[in-house]
Each structure stands twice: as C-alpha cells, then as structure tokens.
Structure 1
Amino acid sequence: MKRFCLVLLFIPALLRAQPGSRLQEFPLQQVKLLPGIFKEQELTDLYYILQLNADKLLAPFRREAGLPKKSESYGNWENSGLDGHIAGHYLSALAMMYANTNDKRILERLNYTIAELKICQDKNGDGYLGGVPGSRGLWAEVHKGNFDTFNKRWVPFYNVHKVFAGLRDAYLYNGNQTAKAMLIKLADWFTGISTVLTPEQMQKLLQNEHGGVNEVLADVYSITGNKKYLDAAYSFSQLAILQPLEKDQDKLDNLHANTQIPKIIGFKRIADLGNDSSYNHAAKFFWETVVKHRSVATGGNSVREHFNPSADFSSMVSSVEGPETCNTYNMLKLTEQLYFSDPKGLYMDYYERALYNHILTTQRPGKGGFVYFTPMRPGHYRVYSQPQTSMWCCVGSGMENHAKYAKMIYSHSADALFVNLFIPSQLNWNEKGLALTQLTSFPESNTTQLKINKVAKSDFSLNIRYPAWVKPGSLTVRINGVIQKVKPAASSYIALKRKWRKGDLITISLPMQTTIEKLPDGSNYEAVLRGPIVLASVIDTANEQGLNADDSRMGHVAGGELYKITDMPAFVSDADNDASQIGVDNNAPLTFTAQNLIYPDKYKKLKLVPFYKIHEARYVVYWRKESKQNFAALQAKLADEDAKVAELAAKTIDAINTGEQQPESDHFMESERAFSGVNFNRHWRAANGWFSYLLTDKKHEAKKLSITYYSKERNHRFSVFINDKELAKVDLQNGKQDEFFTEVYTLPGDIKYTDNQSFRIKIVAESGAVAGPVYEVRLLKD
C-alpha cells in the first residue's frame, strides 16, 4: 500500500491574510445543507417567502412611479411610512434562497420582482427606485439642501437602502444582469445627492438613520471599478460615529443600536476596497466593543433597540424589548467581513454563538414566523410574525437570515479549505474538483465527520476550526481511524496537509463542557452554556397575549402579563462558579438539571435545554444568582419593587419612551423645532415649538395620562393638549429638585378617537419657552 505523508500545522489565532491571500466565501450554489436543524429552518423560511404576494410588496414602488395600481400594498409598516422596505429584503432572500435550493418557484418570483421594479425605475427616469411616500417632492427638496420634509419621514435612506442591497444581491448571488444595470442606475442616483450637497450638508443629512448605503456604494465600486462610487461611499459615511471609533472611544451608550451597525459594515467595506487603515480600525474596535461589552450570552444586543449603558444591564433583565434580531443579522455581516480579511478564530466563535443562540431561535420551526425582540426578562416570551399582517424590519432581515445558513460553513484561499462551522452539508469546490460531505448531529453530539467524495487537485490544506469552547488539548482528529497529533490551542485553526484521496474520512471530536456566564456588567445574573449552546428553561405557556402578531403598529412586542421577577426561579448558591451543580439528564440529548441550585422548590425539576428548542413559551435564559444568606432579604425588597412594576403594567394601555427612535416612530411622532437627548441614561424629548404622539386605546378604557419629568427647570413652560384641547399647563419651575417625578392628569370624558381607537397628545411650548423635557408618556386605565 502506498503511504501518504501527513503534515500537521498549527495556525495561530492571529492568522492574517496577506495581500492577495484574502479568504473567500464559496458561492452558495456550491454548499448545500443536509437534513438537520438548519435545513428545517431553511425550508420553513422558503414556505414563508412563498406565502408573500409580490404585487403587494411592489405596490409602493408603482405608486411613487405614478404607475397604475396592480394591488393594494400590505399594511402594518408597509403603509404607514416605511412603504417598500420589505421588497428589498425580499429580493435578497429570493436571491440567496434560489442559490441554495435551486427551487424554480423562487427563481420565478425573483425574475418577476426585478422585471416589475425595472418598470418603476424606468418610469422614474432618474435612476431612483423606492416606495418612500411623496418621493418626488421629498428628493427634490433634499437636492436643494432643504431637509425639513426628509427629517419628518420615516428613515427614507434606510428604506431605499433595502432595495439597493436587494439589487446587489440578485446580481452577486444569481448573476442577474438586469439587476446589475438597475443597481448602477440607483448608485448614480445616490452619487448625485452626494455630489450636489456640500460635505457639511451630507453630514447633517446622515443624522437620520440611513442603513448601509455606504456599504452598497462600495460594492458598486468593486463591481464596476469606477472610483466615483467609492468617493460616494465615503460621502455617505457619518463622521460623528467614525471618529470616536478611530480613537478607540466607546461612545455608544444610549444610541439606537441598529442605526449604527450597518454604518460600520460600510466602514469595513470601504476599508477593504480603499485600503483605509483608519476605517478598518474603527470597524474592528466597534466589533470588539459590542461583542465583549454589549452583548448577552446569545450574541444579541440592545434594549428597546438602544445600546444600554455598558456598565448597567439592569434594563436588559427588566425590559420585554430585549435584543433585536436585526442587530444580530448585521453583527454577523460585519463579522463575516472582518473574518475574511483577518481570519481569526475568535470571529467564528462569535459567529457560531450568535447563529445558534439568536438567529436560529428567531424563526418558529415548521410553522414559520419571525421574532423581533428576544426578551432576556425571566418569565417572558416572544411574538411571531404572520405573512399577511407583519411587515417589521426583523421580518425582512428574518427572510434573509434563514436563507444564508450555508454562507459561512466553509471558506477558502487559493490553496486552503477552512471548515468554520459544524453543520451537516455538502461542499463542491469546483476549482479543486473537490466534493466533500460533513456529517454531524452537532450540537447533540460532540463529533463531526468530513468525507472526501471526490478530489482532483489534492494539494490543499484542510483547516479545521478549534473553537474557544473546547479546552486546549482536548480536541482530537482522526484520519481514516488514525489519531493525529494536534497542538493544544483553542480559538484557532488546525491545518491538515496530505495528498487527499477519495474516501478519506476525517473525524473531529469536540468535547463540550458546561460553563456559567454572567452579564457583561458583572451583575448577579448568569446564563448556562454547554459548549457554545445557551441553555434555558420553560416556565409555562400561559397568558401569551399576541403570540401570533396582528397588524397593529406594536404587534411585534410581547405585551402580555409581566411575571414578577421575584416569582421566577433563581440560583441560590455560595459557590463562585455554579457549573459543577449543573447535572446531565441522560433521558434526552443536551438536557440538564439544576435541582441543587434552583429556588423556590416548585421549580427545582425544571430542565435546561438549548434555547433554540424553546418556542411559544415563557422561558428563563438568565438566572438571578444569590447567596443563601442574602436570598430571603433580597426577595422581600425586590418583591415590593416588582409589585409596583406589575401594578403599573396592569394599568397601562399604551406607553412611549420619548426620545427613543422606534417608540416614537411607532407612535407617529410629529414635531416642530423639537430635539432630544439623554439624562441619567434616560432618553427625553423637548421642543422650542411642539411635539406630538398618537396614543392607542382600542377599548376606550383610558382615564389618566401620566408624564415623567426631571427636576426644576427655568423657562420650561408648556401645555399638554389632547386632540388640540388643552389638558394641563406645566411649569417645570415647580418640579422636584434633582429627581425624576411623574404627574398624572385626568383625561376628559369626551375624547374623539381616530379610527375608533387613537387620539393625539401634543406638548406645546409657550412663546419663548421650552416644552419638556419629557421622559415618558403613559396612558392609564385608572
């Protein structure tokens, strides 16, 4: 028998791609998922996509192009200001799903959608393509440097960016030449704005959320080689975010999280194409900051869509609006870019963590439906979208998330294959004539096998990721049954070099251990992980109001009863590390017990299972940790606080966290000479003119209106109106010194409701005075 020489090389965690050796992703057509949890989710997504009506998604584009109506548009976010944004995500999802599955129904939808959008773009005549209400007048004003109308619309650039990215994806994933031509025309339209406005005007314009316009413009430069698009990408980069990051300054507290992440993706793309070290540094520092200091165990981040203070995660535990799916969708896109230019194991460690514990969990298996917020509040639950009623941003990104699982399983350089994720799949590396199958039931087993089915050019290195969650020295590799020597270093890659033959079988053992992980601020809440998998427990399935979302503006929020945190199970232990108290339940895979830790007694028999298996249920991901001595006293204190929170929640019909982007959008804010800020980590809204919100009271139960202010303020005099009828005069000179306080106003009995469910509250400044600051508005039953 001919002997084959095997050389084992260690690739350190600081492995760097040299110029010309940057890693590449495989075309999605070359990687196919095999049966398993990811394939099931891909097929569920495919079914959801097929339930959508393309003509309804395209209706805003026809309207803005002045074309005859083919269909009414969808409701929800699609007819209340963000008209057309889902169609862009739809294009991207169709492009990736067809590349993955070769399903002809998907191709038909893709071709139809592009053809119909082309009709709209041609009718517009200037390259513009979008469903933003009042597009023609809006963009004419922007070209003149007048941004008043622009700032009153719901994130216009963010909206148009979605179809911009969709056209790019249709070309990159499927080679659609019509999409490419349309993409370049839309890029020319964006470039036209950046060239007619001054740099100062552009920076002012970019104060409004604009998605990843700079990223796609950079991509168009890559596609065409025309530097004007890279110049435009620079013009669409916000310096107020870039410059602190370049200096290693974390100034992200209280910023709207997902507004920032796409900008950073653009910074990284510009850095790679323009060889810009400062932009590259900013992107890396942002990633490190968010991953290490602002993300929870699942890989997600944000509370009510904002970066909570990095030193205080208390709102993460108390809020029902926990990590947003769109944020992790974008963090994974940024991680991909960082990895391809600098393939460190730590990037894939995060990618794997977020993929299994957040993205995978945000689609209900089999039934379908996407999740917006994933609460970390113990005892709460999640809401699932419905194809005909729910048109949130996380529905758009959700369609993409589950169509791209094959994207990062493998990557390659000219002469090396990298195995990044342990997911059952088939790879065809056409350039090497290599066909490879990965067989695994990971994470329910701790092994994976790679089988060489065909190989023409055998002179390549096979690089296996050594995850951070595997102890140094415990990973093992066998080739055709023969154990190999592996250097004991985690969060890196092991390079296997030999003359590969058809039939070679590589078996990798990845021993998992149980670990405990605290919140990033070090507070007394901890999550349990097995390897990279977050474990959680089901509390019950009761009182899950709005589990299947309706078409209301706030339908994406789980608004059901708040369980008192003090009634939820906690870990009570004097140990520094509770991992040893987590036992294995041998009756089911990846199932664990913690009866020696959990209190009260009624919860001691709870099972800990992978969070991705929990759906349509109330759950606990983060366990409050107390010492035995302090538990009783702290329970009494927290119970009193909890009771007040629960009582207020039971009385609340609608509430607005003023100054926060999405809550204000959800309540249709209108304003004149208004401004916002943050004080003691609470957002506020004020005005030299006025600001207003639409409050919803479907059952006409409202009796009181509460408004929260802060401290005494000179010359802060204003009136509160209900439907233009004065409810109260306010002078903050009469406020409470140096503390937050809440005033409660009795509502008139003759409120007139819009659509029989809503009315408008308006805060109006006296002449020469200031209205607010207002920190919260709450509509109460009593």
Structure 2
Amino acid sequence: MWASTHNDSLKKKMSALVANLSICQEKIGTGYLSAFPSEFFDRLEATKYVWAPYYTTHKILAGLLDQHSIAENPQALKMVTWMVDYFYNRVQNVITKFSISRHYQSLNEETGGMNDVLYKLYSITGDPRHLLLAHLFDKPCFLGLLAVKANDIAHFHANTHIPVIVGSQMRYEVTGDPLYKEIGTLFMDLVNSSHTYATGGTSVNEFWSDPKRMADTLESTDNEESCTTYNMLKVSRHLFTWTKKVSYADYYERALTNGVLSIQRGTEPGVMIYMLPQGRGVSKAKTYFGWGTKFDSFWCCYGTGIESFSKLGDSIYFEEQGENPTLYIIQYISSLFNWKSGQIILNQTVVPPASWDPFLRVSFTFSPAKKTGALSTLNFRLPTRMHKNGEKGILNNETLTLPGPGNFLSITRKWNAGDKLSLQLPLTLRAEAIKDDRTKYASIQAILYGPYLLAGHTTGDWNIKTAANASIADWITPIPASYNIHLFYFSQAFANSTFVLTNSNQSLAVKKVPEPGTDSALGATFRVIQGKSSTKFTTLTDAIGKSVMLEPFDHPGMQVIHQGIELPLTVVGSSLWWTIFCFCCGTGIGWTKRNHIFRIQKP
C-alpha cells in the first residue's frame, strides 16, 4: 500500500514496527523472531503436532524483506539475514542429527512461501547458504510429480502447496532453471482445467479433490479457501510476466473480482470470510467459520485477506524495459499511474459496470511528465471472453481498428497533454459448465456477465428450465437502472425499537429490524412499483400520495396484496393477481379502510 501511496503516516508505522521488532530480536539474542516460542520448532522437528510455525515465520520474513526492497529500510535486511542464519543452522542440525528425509517429513505442515522469500533473499545477498536453504524448502514429493508431468495433485492440501509453486517460479527467475518454468506452467493448466470454480478459486475443505469431479465438492460449504486465491494470483502474475499471454491476465481479473473482492463483507474492513461457498442455496454467513470479527478473529485467511485489500492496485500495469519503453495495461481499475520510463502520467477511469449497459467503458487521459514526451508503447488487454460485437476504441476522436479478443491493442506514439483514449468492451452473458466430465453433471453451470460471476436468488426451484438451443439472453433479462433506486424497507419506531415489514414464506408480518446481510434482511426489502394510474416518479419522495405496488425482493415477479378487512397481507404470483392491487404511499404508518400507509426508508 505504501508503494502505491507513499503515505507519510504509513511510512512512520512501518518504520516503528521494524524498529520495535528489532528490539525484540536483539532481546532474544539468537536471530529468532516470533510471537511464539522456538520450542514450537522443536516439536515440528520431532514430528510432533504443532500448527505450522514456518507459515508465520514466512510472513515475518516476507514483510521485513519488503521493508528493505520497497521501503529501503536497511535495518530490515539485517533482521532478515539474522533470522535466516538461525533457521539455516536449525535445518542443518536436523539433517546432520537425523537425515534429510526427517527434514522433509517435518515440512508436512504449511510452510507458507519459505522457498519464495529465500530465493528473493538470495537474489539480494548472493549468499550460497540462502540458496541452499531455499532448495531445502522446495518440496520434492510435490514438485517431483509435476516435473514428470503427472496429473496427480488430488488430495494435496492446496494452500500448503500453491506457495511452494510460487517459490519454484521464483527459483526459475533467480537461477534460470527451465524445469521450474515448466512446473509453474503445468500446475496452472492442471488447476484451471480440473480444479477451479467459476470464481477462479480452488479447494474444498482446504484440499484438492479428484480431477474434474468438482460437482461433488458443492455438497460442502467449505469451498475456495481465501488463502488459495491469494496465492493463485501470484502464480498467474509470474506466468504473465514470462509470457505476456492475455489468458493469464484474464484469470487474474476473474479471481480478483470474484474470489478476492467477495471475501470482505461489503464495505466493512476487518469482517472477512475464510471459505467462499459455491453451491446453490448457500450463504457466506453459513460456512463452518462464517464471517469473522474485526478484533477477535485472525485466521490465516485474515492475514492474506487484509493484505489482498491493501494491494488492490497491484498487477494493473506491467513495464517492459528496452530502447522503446512498453507498458501493458492488463486490468481495468480506476487508478493514477506515473510511468517514469515512459515519461507520462496515466489516469484510468472505469465506469462501474451495470446490467443495463452491456459494455465496460474505460477512458485514459495522459499528461507528459516532461514538456516533450518520449516515444513509448502502450498495450491494452482485450479479454479472451470478449465477443466482437460493439467493441470500440477511440483515440482523440479517431476510431481505431481493434485486434481480436485475446490480444493487446498496441499504440506507439509520443503522448501529449490532452490525449484521450476511450475503450468500449462488450460485456456478454455466458454460461460455463462446472469442471466435471460426468454427463449427469453437465447441466451444472455458472452464469457470468463479462468477468463477473452472477449469483441467483430464489426461494423455490433452483433449476432453470430453458428451451433447447435457447440463447442465454432469451431467459435472463437485464434489470433496468430504475430498479435500484426503488428498493426500500418499511419501518416504524416504537418503544426504543425499530420494526419493519417482513416477508417470510409469502406471509407478511412486522418484526424487529434485521441485521444487514442476513436472510431476514432480504425478506424486509421490497421494490416499489409505480401504479398504472400514477404519474411517473424517480424517488420515493416523489411517490408520496401516489398509487404503488409492492414486490418482495426475495420473490421477484410476485406482489403484496391485501386480502380484505381483518385479513392479513400476503404475497401472490402474477397469475393470481385478480386485479392490480395498489397501495397509497404516505409518510407515516397506520391503517385506513382500504390502504396501508407506511413511512418508507431506503435500505
């Protein structure tokens, strides 16, 4: 986050944290640094139960190394090398006293990205001990399978082994050994072809299932551990830097959008989720862990989740150095970027996507960092999923010829102040079958709108019945923009409590206001529909005194009706609308002979 913002407050906190951790390390006096005692490693090396001390050690090492590499804090590098000296001696002692097999046996717990951070450290220090220790955290029982191209990752613990892949990718980048480039590429292909949900995430109950048997995993709510998505983004990032393939950038977009942004509860920082359930009729709140809390929960996925939200600006822009500076724009996220090599400042603005506008609209404005801009090339990703149907690129009122989907729009020029590029990229509805090759599960499909995975809500039949060869657009209708501003709940304050009108099993009742994000909150939400005889309104204030109909949010296409005096309100389907039943909007709540009058509030 500091690398993107250079915020002074963050800088002070970072420096203070490093300084105080250094005091702790000096106090211990061995190079060891952790919140738990070194005795945990004694138990690990004796192959006794202890939960993943190297996982936490990796987090400390990685954070300190970033403080050196990004924030240029020399104290942090001294701390890292002292810590690594300590663990180098521990590992050597295990190998000498027992065997190298005992060392690898002790790694049958989550070790995080120990090999990754050690290869990075070696690239800075050149110390051969750091390289050797990195090799000793490459798990041969896993990497060996991939080295011989075995499609056999089933039943491995996903988040133990994805970081090992990330480390092996760093091994290729640091040593140039092509085997580890092949391993990273094969691994991504295996996961994407056989073990990935439509979100881009992977794992069930933290493990990989049998290949192309993903339908079975929907019986559990513990799908897609959040940490696995965090680490798969790293795998795809490395692959993109090696190949510049749009498919890897597409994966990053899918996983970031559906698998990362979805793990925080709305706009509540610190309320995160461990698992992301994928089955139908399930809720994030009803997984094994459910939603965490701001101050009392700190699972492993809290650490990676918080980090993910601190680096949302990561992997938008990639630079290729050379005589002609080249920049790849692979994610469309509103951002400001000072590209020093190209001597220009890019301002990217993305119009939030909506169902009523079938295009992703992105605009770029440019400001030369110097009076005379340098010649440079910008490459803009055209997603593989994009259909050639209305795509458009306009540079300073000139319409550009776009290459096909899965390519980059490449523009080389001297960028001037006032230059503007606009992109209009189609967002189309499509269905994707689950990764399961059994014919009886062929009908289990995800529905996406561009890169966005759609979630369905129903209180009835979960099966969508379509005509043979029907287009998906024939049975899914975009919701108009006006629907969003017509969603409300109906409330009344009484005796220090607030009560709302709630729909439950098509029966209406007044209950205490529910917690946001719960099933009850859905039941308390209604869409106010303009009555046929009423003049048009755009806000609820405009609707006061006019005739309206009420549609329960959780029963789309149905209507609230009044059955008569002394009879309760109920909800009926459109086929039972004997007459169009209207209510009169008022500013209070009460009864009249024929109408209910509510004070209406926006949820």
On whether the aligned pair clears a TM of 0.5, the verdict is yes
Cα displacement string for residues 518-576 of structure 1 (whole angstroms, at most 9, x for unaligned residues): 11104231111111111113458xxxxxxxxxxxxxxxxxxxxxxxxxx5522123435
Equivalent residue letter for 2:124 = I
Question: Is residue 479 of structure 2 the alignment partner of residue 585 of structure 1?
Answer: yes
Name the CA distance, whole Å, in 1 between partners of 2:462 and 2:186.
Answer: 37
Provide TM-score, normalisation by structure 1: 0.57
Is 2:572 aligned against 1:572?
no
AA of the residue aligned to 1:462: L
Equivalences for residues 490-569 of structure 1 within 5 A: 490-522=405-437, 523=441, 524-539=443-458, 569=462
The C-alpha deviation readout for 1:705-753, integer Å capped at 9, x for no partner, is: xxxxxxxxxxxxxxxxxxxxxxxxxxxxxxxxxxxxxxxxxxxxxxxxx
| Equivalent in the alignment of 1:374 | 276
Secondary structure of the corresponding residue to residue 129 of structure 1: coil
- Residue of 213, 224, 247 corresponding to 1:323: 224
For the residues of structure 2 that align with 1:227 and 1:589, how far apart are their CA atoms? 63
2:136 equivalent in structure 1: 235
After TM superposition, the structure 1 = structure 2 runs for residues 205-354 of structure 1, keeping only pairs within 5 Å, are: 205-354=106-255
| Per-residue Cα deviation, 1:69-102 (whole angstroms, up to 9, x for no partner) | xxxxxxxxxxxxxxxxxxxxxxxxxxxx333344
Q: Indicate if the aligned counterparts of 1:437 and 1:450 stay in contact, CA closer than 8 A.
A: yes
What secondary structure sits across from 1:507 in the alignment?
strand
- CA–CA separation in structure 1 for the residues paired with 2:168 and 2:135: 8
Q: 1:243 to 1:175 in 2, by over 3 A?
A: same
Match in the other structure for 2:391: 475
Alignment check: 8 A CA contact 1:538 1:619 kept: no
The alpha-carbon deviation at position 155 of structure 1 amounts to: 1.3
Cα deviation code 1:130-161 (max 9, x no counterpart): 233x41x444577xxxx32x531111211211
- Percent of aligned positions with the same letter in both sequences? 28
Deviations 1:591-633 (A, max 9, x none): 9xxxxxxxxxx99xxxxxxxxxx9555999xxxxxxxxxxxxx
Tell me the equivalent position of 1:449: 363
**Secondary structure of the structure 2 residue equivalent to 1:273:** helix
Letter in 1 for 2:381: R
Q: Give how far 1:253 is off.
A: 1.2
Partner of 2:18: 114
1:110 is aligned with what amino acid?
A: M
**Structure 1 position 446, deviation (Å):** 1.5
Residues 485 and 578 (structure 1 numbering): CA distance in 2 closer, same or farther, change over 3 Å?
closer
Whether the aligned pair in 2 keeps the contact of 1:357 and 1:533 (CA below 8 Å) is: yes
1:411 lines up with 2:318 in the alignment: yes
Relative contact order (C-alpha < 8 Å, sep 6+): which is higher?
Answer: 1
- Counterparts of 1:740-779 in structure 2 under 5 Å? none
Are 1:416 and 1:461, in contact at CA under 8 Å, matched by a contact in 2? yes
Asked if the contact 1:514–1:531 (Cα under 8 Å) also holds between the matched residues in 2, the reply is: yes
Aligned-partner residue type, residue 68 of structure 2: Y
User: Structure 1 residues 176, 189: CA separation in 2 closer, same or farther (over 3 Å shift)?
Assistant: same
**Counterpart in 2 of 1:192?**
89
Q: Check the 8 A contact 2:215/2:435 in 1, yes or no.
A: no
Aligned residues of 1:320 and 1:375 also touching (Cα < 8 A): yes
1:512 alignment partner AA? L
Distance 1:252 1:615 in 2: 36
Q: Residues 303 and 315 of structure 1 are in contact (CA less than 8 Å); yes or no, is this contact kept in structure 2?
A: no
SS at match of 1:120: helix
Q: Distance between the aligned counterparts of 1:170 and 1:588, measured in 2?
A: 48
For residues 484 and 91 of structure 2, the distance between their equivalents in structure 1, rounded to whole angstroms, comes to 53
Partner SS state of residue 190, structure 1: helix
Would the alpha carbon gap of residues 248 and 405 (structure 1) be closer, same or farther in structure 2, given more than 3 Å must change?
same
1:388 matched to 2:295? The reply is: yes
The answer for the alignment partner of 1:359 in structure 2 is: 260
Q: In 1, Cα distance between the equivalents of 2:152 and 2:67?
A: 36
Aligned length: 471
In the TM superposition, residue 187 of structure 1 has moved relative to its aligned partner by 2.1
- Which secondary structure does the structure 2 equivalent of 1:583 belong to? coil
Q: CA deviation at 1:577?
A: 6.0
Counterpart-to-counterpart distance in 2, 1:206 and 1:385: 29
Give the whole-Å Cα distance in 1 for the aligned partners of 2:519 and 2:125. 49
Once residues 279 and 388 of structure 1 are traced to their aligned partners in structure 2, the CA distance between those partners, rounded to angstroms, is 40
Alignment CA distance shift 1:127-1:242 (3 Å): same
Distance 1:572 1:307 in 2: 31
Which structure: larger Rg? 2
Task: Report the counterpart of residue 27 of structure 2 in structure 1.
Answer: 123
| In 1: Cα distance, 2:330 partner to 2:521 partner | 30
Unaligned regions of 5+ residues in structure 1, if any? 1-96, 541-566, 592-601, 604-613, 621-782
Give secondary structure in 2 for the equivalent of 1:287: helix
Report the CA distance shift for 1:216/1:576 in structure 2 as closer, same or farther (over 3 A): farther
Q: Secondary structure at the match of 1:151?
A: coil
Matches within 5 A, 1:654-665: none
> Partner of 2:151: helix, strand, or coil?
coil
Mapping 1:76-115, distance limit 5 Å: 97-115=1-19
1:287-334 deviation digits (Å, cap 9, x = unpaired): 111122211111111111111222322332211111111000000011
User: What residue identity is the alignment partner of 2:477?
Assistant: G
Matches of 2:4 and 2:291 in 1, distance apart? Answer: 25
Residue identity in the other structure for 1:487? P
Preserved CA contact (<8 Å) 2:367 2:415: no
Kept in 2, the 8 Å contact 1:301–1:323? The answer is yes
1:417 alignment partner AA: L
Task: Kindly indicate whether the alpha-carbon contact (under 8 Å) linking 1:332 and 1:351 is maintained by their aligned counterparts in 2.
Answer: yes
| TM-score, L = length of structure 2 | 0.73
* Superposed CA offset, 1:20-41 (max 9, x none): xxxxxxxxxxxxxxxxxxxxxx
- SS of the aligned residue for 1:388 comes to coil
Alignment partners' CA distance in 2, 1:179 and 1:420: 32
Quote how far apart the aligned CAs of 1:359 are.
0.3
Match of 1:432 in 2: 342
Alpha carbons of structure 1 residues 616 and 588: separation in structure 2 relative to 1, 3 Å:
farther
Alpha-carbon deviation of 1:441?
Answer: 1.4
Report how far residue 207 of structure 1 moved. Answer: 2.3
**Residues 461-499 of structure 1: CA deviation (Å, up to 9, x unaligned):** 1101010111257532211011112222x2221211122
Please provide the CA RMSD for this pair.
2.6
Does the 8 Å CA contact 1:380/1:618 hold for their aligned counterparts? no
Confirm or deny: 8 A CA contact 2:254 2:452 kept in the other structure.
yes
1:627-776 to 2 correspondence within 5 Å? none
Matches within 5 A, 1:13-162: 97-132=1-36, 134-135=37-38, 137-139=39-41, 147-148=45-46, 150-162=47-59
Q: Secondary structure, in 3 states, of the residue corresponding to 2:188?
A: helix
What code does the residue aligned with 2:425 have?
L
Residues 235 and 618 from structure 1, CA distance in 2 versus in 1: closer, same or farther, beyond 3 angstroms?
Answer: farther
Letter of the 2:382 counterpart? Y
Q: 1:305–1:508: structure 2 CA closer, same or farther, 3 Å change rule?
A: same
Kindly indicate whether the alpha-carbon contact (under 8 Å) linking 1:379 and 1:568 is maintained by their aligned counterparts in 2.
no
1:619/1:332 CA distance change after superposition, 3 Å: farther
State the 1:176 CA deviation.
1.9
CA contact (8 A) 1:215 1:270 kept: yes
Q: Give the match's secondary structure for 2:207.
A: coil
Give the gaps of 5 or more residues in structure 2: 285-289, 486-503, 506-515, 523-603
Partners of 2:273 and 2:79 in 1: CA distance: 32
* Partner Cα distance (2:78, 2:122) in 1: 13
